[in-house]
């Protein structure tokens, strides 16, 4: 191996996925597809509206904000709660 036992070479795969091997890239692709379909990230996301000084918590409102164009989202910042 080129860099020893622990260091790996990361490859860039289609759809902006970076992984060490094909198996991991396929897993990440399936996971990202699952997340996009189920929209389970909406439960842990908040939108900070700097123009109106408010926090958007409701899933429907968050989804509407994320669907806006870049110009309409200038003062809206998505934040993930941990």
Are the C-beta atoms of residues 56 and 66 closer than 8 Å to each other? no
What pLDDT is attached to residue 15? Answer: 86
State pLDDT tens for residues 18-76. Answer: 988 889 999 999 999 999 899 888 889 999 999 999 999 999 999 999 899 989 999 99
pTM of the model: 0.61
What pLDDT is attached to residue 2? Answer: 47
What pLDDT is attached to residue 5? Answer: 57
Ordered by start, the domain boundaries in the chain are: 1-38, 42-80
DSSP letter assigned to residue 11: E
């Amino acid at each position: 191996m080129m860099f020893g036992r622990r260091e790996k070479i990361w490859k860039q795969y289609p759809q902006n996925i970076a992984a060490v091997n094909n198996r991991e890239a396929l897993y990440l692709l399936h996971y990202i597809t699952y997340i996009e379909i189920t929209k389970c990230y909406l439960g842990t996301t908040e939108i900070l509206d700097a123009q109106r000084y408010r926090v958007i918590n409701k899933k429907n409102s968050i989804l509407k904000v994320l669907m806006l164009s870049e110009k309409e989202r200038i003062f809206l910042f998505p934040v993930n709660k941990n």
